Structure 1
Amino acid sequence: MEKKSYTFDEIKQKLVNYCVYQDRCHAEVEQKMRDFLLIPEAKDEIFLYLMKENYLNEERFTRSYIRGKFYIKHWGKTKIKINLKQKGVTEKLISKSMDEIDDEDYEKTIRKIYEDYFSKQKGLKEYQKKSKTIKYLLSRGFEYDVVLDLMNKD
């Protein structure tokens, strides 16, 4: 299939639209740029433009990603961190942005997931239910010590 070739301005506009549609991280924009086979100078120019005009903002992306994954998907901080790192977001920015998650909300969410999952375990001994529930919470990306704290409060 013949690849359509775009002018520099068309590509720039496509990347603006890509960023406007949803907050993006640098790595996602970088990936998208590969589709257009741009020379490095053109890439740099577009990157600078997107940042200068605030279409591309790594901190805003990180903060909205954290909010979405916690408040909508109910992921734990560990899972969020791992996924952000895979997107090339720095440890420093991730740590700084974790304040998007309210501590009380975090605890309530873990407790709710714990209770829902625990109550669904049928025909198991108490300790088996507990152990399965701990594994489940860890798989959702909640930290081991936080999960244990929760268990000890019961």
Structure 2
Amino acid sequence: MTEQSKDILRRAASFCAYQERTQREVRERLNEWDVYGDEAEEIIVWLIEQNYLNEERFAKTFAGSKFRVKRWGKHKIKQHLKQRGITGYNLDQAMKEIEPDDYRQTLVDLLEKKKRSLQGENPLIMKQKLVRYAIGKGYESDMVWSVLGGQE
């Protein structure tokens, strides 16, 4: 292994150690460093073997943090994971990070907070704005309507 290859391995490991990454993000970074093809794939395999790169771990961390910190709904989380190249099993595992009771309660809390900011609005317009807000955050419309139906 050449000194340049060792340096690229160190940089790639550091890139992955800083925060969870997807294979797509690592491949893009390697391209920026002018590393392509088989050499790039060998580096990615090494990163996976050394546990620097784990897409299941990335997906779980991403879903859990976007739900807890930004209070995103499942639709928005799935959409962002798919944009990052996460599909299938890893996507399913990520969604399991969100407890159904916590999910529903977070939606209730979001809607109550938003409702307070809309005081004085016509009730029909308020409901419309609440639905649009929750769906924009990535929550399922049937759940939003169900929660709003119980708040009146």
**Aligned position for 1:111:** 108
In structure 2, what is the Cα distance between the partners aligned to 1:76 and 1:19? 27
Q: Once superposed, what is the RMSD of the aligned Cα atoms?
A: 1.2
Q: Which amino acid aligns with 1:79?
A: K
Q: Give the conservation status (yes or no) of the 8 Å contact 1:76–1:141.
A: yes
C-alpha separation in 1, matches of 2:36 and 2:78: 32
Asked whether the equivalents of residues 63 and 97 of structure 2 are also in contact (C-alpha less than 8 Å), the reply is yes
Structure 1 partner of 2:70: 73
Q: Number of aligned pairs?
A: 149
Structure 1 stretches (4+) deviating beyond 6 angstroms?
A: none
Q: 1:44 aligns with which of 41, 45, 64?
A: 41
Q: Give the TM-score normalised by structure 1.
A: 0.92
Matching residue's letter, 1:46: I
Give the corresponding residue for 1:100: 97
State the distance in 2 between where 1:122 and 1:74 align: 22
Partner amino acid, structure 2, of 1:72: V
1:145 shift after superposition: 1.1
Structure 1: which amino acid aligns with 2:76?
K
In the superposition, the TM-score normalised over structure 2's length comes to 0.93
1:3 is matched with none
- What are the superposed Cα offsets for residues 89-122 of structure 1, whole Å, 9 maximum, x if unpaired? 1144212321101111111110011000011113
The answer for unaligned runs of 5 or more in structure 1 is 1-5
Aligned to 2:127: 130
Identity value in percent:
32
Q: How far 1:126 moved relative to its partner?
A: 0.9
**Counterpart position of 1:17:** 14
1:152 aligns with 2:127: no
Q: How many angstroms does 1:123 deviate by?
A: 3.0
Is the 1:85–1:91 contact (alpha carbons within 8 Å) kept by the matching residues of 2?
A: no
Three-state SS of the structure 2 residue aligned to 1:151 is helix
